[in-house]
């Protein structure tokens, strides 16, 4: 059955940080205010003349980032399960309005005690959570790659980089800076993804903006990106603005965009899945990167790639993100051996950069 054209809306909302609250009780009040803001803005979108079929809200929208909090403290202060008390009001909202809601939160699953994840989830129009992607490529947060062997023992391959088929088409979620990792979008496309939903919380960089366009063009997918309004989460002094929520079609054309960082539901556009499916089948030479892809040629290089060590926190969860320094040192050594990095001169020290997620 053909899929009718449908509307996506980015919820560009302001978000407070639970990590900066004075107490655990105050942190819960911060989260409650964030959830109330999110619900209000989705309600406004649904009451508008352009009612969406799907909304995307920003990364960190409900809790803010942990900044430099230790893992155990952040789990106790702000994390929740999926589904759980933070998703419940959104599930009720999705069911009441008959819409899909996609977004992001910090998840502490009971089955993985002592670990939390930067997780992106999708609620369908019946109020059910139908997708949960636990981010793999992280800098400031734990990753399932940290205990990959054990995680893959109990997690179906289809749930590692999940794609879900819905009445709107085949949907996937990629949070924030992970849009800069080509393999994530690629393996989701290989499972049929037609729309990438992109909850983000990021400052403006040319690299990030280029990555959004590149992932769309190389995979022939739509992108619905929702960034935070006001300051980004990783700007504790509130000096770095968000903004730039963006909807892009499968040819890289902008359908809706807002440069400024004001709260908004104005980034809204129609998604034509049937046009995407037709264009994916049309042989337009390398303008269609899917039909002529030669993946087999790349396999030996990926099989030989052994850089950042998996299972670095297999036996015990990460306690502090500073513990990743040893893994980074291993990655550097492996990349030197592969002639990707040039060894430092004797006596030289490694460059120091600000943490990024």
Q: 314 and 213, same structural domain? A: no
Q: 125 and 173, same structural domain? A: yes
Say if 353 falls within a structural domain: no
**Looking at residue 297, what is its pLDDT?**
97
Burial of 1 (0-12, 13-18, 19+ CB in 10 A): exposed
Say if 267 falls within a structural domain: yes
Say if 346 falls within a structural domain: no
Q: In this structure, what CATH number is given to the domain that contains residue 207?
A: 3.60.110.10
Q: 313 and 257, same structural domain? A: no
Q: 310 and 202, same structural domain? A: no
Q: 103 and 22, same structural domain? A: yes
Q: Identify the domain containing residue 309 by its residue range.
A: 296-337
Count of domains in the chain? 2
CB 248 within 8 A of CB 222: yes
Q: 50 and 121, same structural domain? A: yes
Q: 330 and 192, same structural domain? A: no
Q: 321 and 273, same structural domain? A: no
**Looking at residue 355, what is its pLDDT?**
53
Q: 264 and 238, same structural domain? A: yes
Say if 94 falls within a structural domain: yes
CB 269 within 8 A of CB 7: yes
Q: 164 and 133, same structural domain? A: yes
Say if 342 falls within a structural domain: no
Domain boundary among 289, 321, 347: 289
Q: 202 and 126, same structural domain? A: yes
Which one, of 212, 187, 210, lies nearest residue 200 by Cα? Answer: 212
Q: What are the pLDDT tens digits along the chain (357 aa)?
A: 899 999 999 999 999 999 999 999 999 999 999 999 999 999 999 999 999 999 999 999 999 999 989 999 999 999 999 999 999 999 999 999 999 999 999 999 999 999 999 999 999 999 999 999 999 999 889 999 999 999 999 999 999 999 999 999 999 999 999 999 999 999 999 999 999 999 999 999 999 999 999 999 999 999 999 999 999 999 999 999 999 999 999 999 999 999 999 999 999 999 999 999 999 999 999 899 999 999 999 999 999 999 999 999 999 999 999 999 999 999 999 999 999 999 999 988 888 776 556
Q: 19 and 85, same structural domain? A: yes
Say if 178 falls within a structural domain: yes
**Looking at residue 351, what is its pLDDT?**
83
Measured CA angle at 232 (ends 229, 238), to 5 deg:
100
Say if 278 falls within a structural domain: yes
């Amino acid at each position: 059955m053909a899929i009718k054209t449908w509307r996506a809306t980015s919820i560009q909302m302001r978000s407070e940080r639970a990590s900066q609250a004075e107490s655990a009780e105050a942190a819960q009040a911060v989260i409650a205010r964030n959830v109330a803001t999110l619900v209000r803005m989705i309600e406004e979108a649904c009451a508008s003349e352009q009612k969406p079929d799907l909304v995307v809200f920003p990364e960190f929208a409900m809790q803010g980032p942990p900044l430099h909090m230790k893992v155990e403290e952040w789990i106790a202060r702000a994390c929740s399960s999926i589904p759980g008390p933070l998703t419940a009001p959104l599930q009720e909202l999705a069911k009441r309005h008959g819409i899909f809601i996609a977004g992001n939160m910090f998840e502490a699953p009971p089955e993985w005690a002592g670990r939390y994840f930067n997780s992106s989830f999708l609620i369908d129009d019946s109020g059910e959570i139908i997708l949960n992607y636990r981010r793999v490529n992280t800098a400031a947060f734990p990753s399932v790659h940290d205990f990959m062997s054990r995680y893959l023992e109990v997690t179906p391959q289809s749930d590692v980089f999940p794609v879900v088929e819905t009445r709107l088409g085949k949907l996937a979620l990629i949070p924030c800076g992970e849009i800069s990792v080509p393999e994530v979008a690629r393996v989701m496309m290989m499972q049929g993804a037609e729309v990438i939903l992109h909850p983000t919380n990021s400052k403006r960089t040319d690299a990030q903006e280029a990555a959004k366009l590149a992932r769309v063009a190389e995979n022939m997918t739509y992108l619905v990106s929702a960034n935070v309004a006001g300051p980004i989460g990783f700007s504790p002094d509130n000096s770095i603005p968000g903004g730039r929520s963006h909807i892009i079609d499968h040819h890289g054309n902008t359908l809706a965009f807002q440069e400024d960082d004001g709260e908004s539901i104005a980034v809204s556009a129609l998604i034509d899945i049937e046009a995407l499916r037709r264009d994916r089948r049309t042989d337009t030479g390398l303008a269609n990167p899917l039909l002529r892809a030669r993946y087999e040629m790349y396999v030996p290089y990926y099989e030989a790639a052994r850089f950042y060590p998996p299972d670095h926190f297999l036996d015990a969860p990460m306690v502090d993100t500073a513990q990743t320094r040893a893994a980074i040192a291993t990655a550097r050594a492996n990349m030197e051996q592969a002639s990707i990095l040039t060894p430092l001169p004797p006596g030289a020290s490694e460059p120091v950069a600000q943490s990024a997620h």
